[in-house]
Amino acid sequence: MEGLIRGLIDVAIGGGDGGGGRDEENETRDERSRSSWAQVVSGEQDNDDRPHGHNPTQRRRQEESQQEDERWEVSGSRPSRKPHKVEYGGYEKDEAGERHGYNQNEWNRKEQEKENNDGWETVGRKPQRQPHKVQMDQWQGYKRPPSEQVYSDEFETGTSVEPSEEELADLSQACNRLWQLDLNRLEPGKDYQIDCGEGKKVYQKADMAEGSLFYWVSEDIFRRPTFSRFCSLLDNYNPNAGCKEVVTSEEKQEQSAFMEEISRTAPIKYLHKYLSLKGIVSENYQDFKRMITKLWFDLYGRGGASGSSSAFEHVFVGEIKQHGEQEVTGFHNWLQFYLEEGKGRVDYQGYILPRRRGETPDSETQLLTIQFEWNGILKSVSSTLVGVSPEFEIALYTLCFFMGGEDNYVQLGPYSVNIKCYRFGDKIGSVFPIAEC
């Protein structure tokens, strides 16, 4: 009998161990199913969108005088919420001048990890949307010689592109006229739809956007000549700040083709009229186009390396500082944001709450101040004009560079905006809009 009792006790103890093992297994699985999203590291804001000169004293004075303004442009971002580092070696060109894309192995591995999670749904993970479908077949044609290029007809606006006396005397009125002449500007709800998500303060850690910023953009807009030629330029750059750019003959042709296309539009024609009347540029339109091309595409040094950056790359494409903590700088264009978001490289985090109450953005808003991660690196504050045409932004920023100062308080349709403009000698170091609300 004693043996029988001992055996029953052993069986009971064994059953208890088995139950405990299953509990531990369930706990381990529960741990795997929790969100992998980390918290944003908040801290003091940086001055990383402002170009740095080579004179230490001058640089220090610039930083002291501009520190207050920089609380809104943090081209300064914080380190990524996730402690991983994204490799950009794939952007290097080989001897033949071929440019390689991002290292897709890392992205594919992460997607497989998400899918192979034993069927468990990761709590807090953003819903995956279908990649954006953009027709890019015609973009290769922009690399062809000038004799093989086909451009749109001269843009007829039905209105004069001659600046008025009032506009010549008032930069704000001139910028507002450019807004009126932007006939290529998209219409919210008709050409695209955005989802702003929830708002947050710059220092708040939570991701306030459940999904992407762009819900959809009409494929038709990528058939518009200036839009498609602009988009073809975006993959011509290495995002590593301080990495010397190698510009191929085909990429130079893309630049020329883009400038030729936008020179046929009303905003650029108005810009030429304005600057020539002010005696800043030649009345000869070909000379003017060459000057604008050099202003935006000529390379200069940023981050200590010569030939590593340009106004176009910084403002429209974006760059990533590699010294010290990684930081996103520039990146103020909505088309670049849309395309990178569709590729899974941009994670929208929500909009930055306005300084005044009652001015929260919605799906109709075309001037946004937002927070996002680009390839796992956080940009705490960035501002962008949504839906505007490439020719409008080139004309607006060029006009403010030549006719304004560091702060340019202007009216753009319904928006009161400060166009911040930082110079890098005779080049554009950085330029972007800030909502004055």
Instruction: Cite the active site residues.
Output: 314, 332, 379
Handedness of CA 345, 330, 41, 360 (dihedral sign): negative
Report how far residue 329's alpha carbon sits from residue 47's, in angstroms, rounded to the nearest whole number. Answer: 9
DSSP character for 88?
A: -
Give 94-142 as a DSSP string.
Answer: -TT-PBP---HHHHHHHHHHHH-STTPPPTTPPPPPPPP----GGGGGG
CA 435/CA 437 separation, integer angstroms: 6
Integer Cα distance of 47 and 60 in angstroms: 11
Residues forming beta bridges with residue 351, ordered by sequence position = 199, 370
One-letter amino acid for residue 250 of the chain = E
Q: Distance from CA of residue 307 to its chain's centroid?
A: 21
- Give the span between the Cα atoms of 101 and 88, in whole angstroms: 9
Looking at residue 164, what DSSP letter applies?
A: P
